[in-house]
Structure 1
Amino acid sequence: MQQKPSMGAAAFCMTDTTNKQAPQQPVLTRAAFGDDFQWGVATAAYQIEGAHTAEGKGPSIWDTFASRKGKVKHSHTGNQACDFFHRYSDDLLLMKAMGIQNFRFSLSWSRLLPDGTGKINQAGIAYYNRLIDQCLELGITPWITLYHWDLPQALEIKGGWTNRDIVGWFGAYATLCANSFGDRVKHWMVLNEPMVFTGAGYFLGVHAPGRRGFGSFIPAVHHTALCQAEGGRILKQLVPDAQVGTTFSCSHVEPLREQENDIRAAKRVDALLNRLFLEPALGLGYPLEELKFMRRIEKHMKPGDEELLRFDFDFIGIQNYTREVVRYAFWTPFIQANLVPAKKRNVPYTHMNWEVYPEGIYHLLHKYSGYSTIRKLIITENGAAFPDELRDGQVNDQQRVDFLQLYLQQVLRARQEGANVEGYFVWSFLDNFEWTEGYEPRFGLVHVDYSTQQRTVKSSGHWYRDFLRGHNL
């Protein structure tokens, strides 16, 4: 894409086209968040590990999907990625040097259970044991995500998330992980962004496994929501002293115009993006009043499912990158709404074409704090992709520094106003495989030269290190 000229912090603030006076922003320091606030970085197995057939690992749906022509830009795959599988020790030492005390990573289901069920791959268990043990030796707290999109291909052949048997398959996988690592790991997330992997993978077909249509999407949603709660119950039963959460991709949603059709369209999009998987876990059921087209999910529900969908999570993970502006669209099936791209609205945007809108995370924190049964919120992902360049051994990514500062100001503002947010994880520690975009977008605090696997801490990584050390910035 053609990238806009470099924009500093002042330009980033000019995302609200109204004449409202901007509120006074708090002074951004680590100390302002309090001593108990958790700081970290986040990654995902398929995006960084590589070693896609090493030591008994079976294929995942992303191994299969990325190998198909035309599915990923430039025919990129995660076969090598950042080679974290072999380089984790040095990467953890780098993390330690950057002052990062919490590391969120996911487990590869097919590395532990190559066929999804049945025989355990002991080499996979040993790998994650080494990774966890070194984290702890370095004073880095591991935060594990059970499922970050890489379903074993063997289970997809059996129907994947559209097959209700996956509740049992996932339960067995969660049990294995809890029994194998729960003695040392006390922070867990069940799922990563269920709306994204069901919507993009089972309705739009643009992500693995590449299925399209409501016939796949509706059962996938229900079975995923059941697994979300079942995974929480298993982790809490087997690791009773653990903090157990799950994560959602969230976007602040606004209507394009203050017209009834646009307002209603924005409410439907909000229900789909921000409420569809959260509210069943809270015991509120699916938001079918706003999403009438989802009523067909009821035919997949069995007696007792309403209760099985519920689980009292210790925390909810919010993952925010942008906001969505919505207009009514009569011809758009089901949802009757279209998202208006940032480019068309003449607002700042990232390499992913996502609007830079720091106030969005502020609004989301208040929105989710409004649910009385949510105990606490952790921002488990926030970050931005920009066209970073390595020059003379350095990456000067001032746009990312500005992005992080502005978003963190809004987090602090919400926290000072009473939002129950208690942690923040940058996406991502390393540049990595960015799904269908391949290796082009770079989200990392650390630059990766994919031809040599050389790591270079970017300006944003140095900024985050200094911020965590409490330096005045």
Structure 2
Amino acid sequence: MSADETTFPEGFTFGVATSAYQVEGGIENDWAEWERAGKLKEPHARCGRAVDHWNRYEEDYGLALEAGASAFRISLEWARIEPERGRYDGAALEAYRERLLRMKARGLRPVVTLHHFTHPTWFHRETPWHSPASVEAFRAYARVCAPLLKGLDALLITLNEPMVVLLGGYLQGLIPPGISDGPKTMLAMENMVRAHVAAREELQAVLGKVELGISQNMLCFAPDRWWHPLDQAIVRLGAQAYNHAFHEALSSGKLRVTMPGLASTNVDIPQAKGSCEFIGVNYYSRAHLRFIPRHPFIEFKFRDRVGRGLTDIGWEDYPEGFGQILREVKRYGLPVWVTENGIDDRNGQRRPHYIHSHLAEVLKARAEGVDVRGYLYWSLLDNFEWLEGWGPRFGLYHVDFETMERRATPACEYLRTVAQGGRLVPPATPAPQPSAAR
């Protein structure tokens, strides 16, 4: 490997990522209502106190530093800040401001997300995403949040994984708000683009110049039957809709989505053109798509086609797809931040190798001219994993969910070694042997 493929440039950022609902605890929002309705894979699972980050944030900042991080991604919890429409909680705002100031003082650059899946309990009833009222609701929320960010030099993310919200919540009905409606999905998508623009305007009004984007979950897609023309066609359409529709709308001002038999839209939003300063990539896996001759026409599978073994959540370990995605987003001509990348590894032995293989792809992409500025590992801590509840463990730190004790996994030392040395080195121990390929 060349020096470009083993050495990170000066100023490259290594960091960690979290989200409010998954770690803070004590939040009443639409997901808390969803849990009480028994709609998780484990019907009795509850987030509850999560992993008590709300009270242990100083300890957790220290853990991030010990793992070599110089950036820390959080989200602001809209339901804490605006528990009733138009009523803002001053104590919650002060608490977030204090946490951000302490983060900065500890030497961690704040990476702040305004919307990470969750909504106040009033949102879906009063200003749902498929209603134009959602845009002004999000604008008002951003306006209130803007003063929290003064003087922090924060990297700002308006929306986390909007396509996951739309497909899961509006097309499949698996997550809040639990709708299965193609036209409403497209209306919601358009309004989320407009909400991003509105939030950007409010943040700029208070902060001046901002470094702002979205975090988009991006999958590497492959035809389940490599030879089948319909599998190939849905891979092309799926990659465009899922991976690129939002990024392209915020780059060109043109929102174009085609999901035959499900939903489509073609709308111009001129204000969205050039409304990001960076491209945020969340990457975890590759998915194989197969055409089926009945609704919803697509079968979605994780396969272990290269024999590394599926991760504990059942996803393919496929770093090559990460490199492919990074090369694809070069088209936007913007800096790239890896805002999430991680593995559910319940004994902690695979994680160093997963990080190593994915960082290798970052360096390869940089050598090909992709301006990747930073890598944020998901997640600092084991946490509440949405529909999966408490089973998955993505954390650099293992958390005892009874005592809340944090314990370093082998990946902490590995990430620290790479971050402090600025150079990619192999993990100290050999990779565990995978189970039989599926």
TM-score (normalised: structure 2): 0.91
Give the Cα–Cα distance (whole angstroms) in 2 for the partners of residues 258 and 367 of structure 1: 23
- 2:201 matches 1:241: no
Within 5 Å, which residues of 2 pair with 1:343-422?
348-371=309-332, 374-388=333-347, 397-422=348-373
Shift of 1:407: 0.8
Give the Cα–Cα distance (whole angstroms) in 2 for the partners of residues 45 and 119 of structure 1: 20
Give the Cα–Cα distance (whole angstroms) in 2 for the partners of residues 168 and 443 of structure 1: 35
- 2:175 matches 1:212: no
Q: Is the 8 A contact 2:255 2:265 kept in 1?
A: no
- What residue is the counterpart of 1:16 in the other structure? none
Shift of 1:297: 3.9
Shift of 1:76: 1.7
- Identity of paired residues, percent? 28
* Secondary structure class of the residue paired with 1:342: coil
For residues 450 and 26 of structure 1, do their structure 2 counterparts lie closer, same or farther at Cα, with a shift above 3 Å needed? farther
- 2:20 matches 1:45: yes
159, 177, 198: which one aligns with 1:230:
198
Q: Is the 8 A contact 1:365 1:414 kept in 2?
A: yes
- 2:137 matches 1:169: yes
* Secondary structure class of the residue paired with 2:339: strand
Give the Cα–Cα distance (whole angstroms) in 2 for the partners of residues 295 and 88 of structure 1: 42
Give the Cα–Cα distance (whole angstroms) in 2 for the partners of residues 182 and 292 of structure 1: 45
- What residue is the counterpart of 1:99 in the other structure? 68
Within 5 Å, which residues of 2 pair with 1:237-276?
237-256=205-224, 257-276=226-245
Give the Cα–Cα distance (whole angstroms) in 2 for the partners of residues 45 and 348 of structure 1: 31
Structure 1, 222-231 or 439-448: larger mean CA deviation: 222-231
For residues 221 and 439 of structure 1, do their structure 2 counterparts lie closer, same or farther at Cα, with a shift above 3 Å needed? same
Shift of 1:259: 3.4
Within 5 Å, which residues of 2 pair with 1:70-469?
70-73=39-42, 75-115=44-84, 117-256=85-224, 257-283=226-252, 285-288=254-257, 290-292=258-260, 297=265, 306-333=269-296, 336-342=297-303, 348-371=309-332, 374-388=333-347, 397-469=348-420
Q: Is the 8 A contact 1:109 1:147 kept in 2?
A: yes
Shift of 1:210: 2.1
Q: Is the 8 A contact 1:187 1:244 kept in 2?
A: yes
Shift of 1:213: 2.5
Counterpart of 1:33, as a letter, is: F
Q: 1:162-205: per-residue Cα shift (whole Å, max 9, x none)?
A: 22101001001111111232332431111000000111012211
Give the Cα–Cα distance (whole angstroms) in 2 for the partners of residues 25 and 203 of structure 1: 46
Give the Cα–Cα distance (whole angstroms) in 2 for the partners of residues 68 and 327 of structure 1: 32
Give the Cα–Cα distance (whole angstroms) in 2 for the partners of residues 76 and 297 of structure 1: 37
Structure 2's unaligned 5+ residue stretches are 427-438
* Secondary structure class of the residue paired with 2:383: coil
Q: 1:230-260: per-residue Cα shift (whole Å, max 9, x none)?
A: 2223223322233111110001122231332
Give the Cα–Cα distance (whole angstroms) in 2 for the partners of residues 314 and 414 of structure 1: 19
TM-score (normalised: structure 1): 0.84
Shift of 1:328: 2.5
Counterpart of 2:38, as a letter, is: K
- 2:35 matches 1:35: no
Shift of 1:106: 0.3
Structure 1's unaligned 5+ residue stretches are 1-23, 53-58, 389-396
* Secondary structure class of the residue paired with 1:266: helix
Structure 1, 228-237 or 75-84: larger mean CA deviation: 228-237
Shift of 1:295: 6.5
* Secondary structure class of the residue paired with 2:200: helix
Shift of 1:276: 2.2
Kindly tell me the number of residue pairs found equivalent between the two proteins.
423
Structure 1, 161-170 or 63-72: larger mean CA deviation: 63-72
RMSD: 2.2
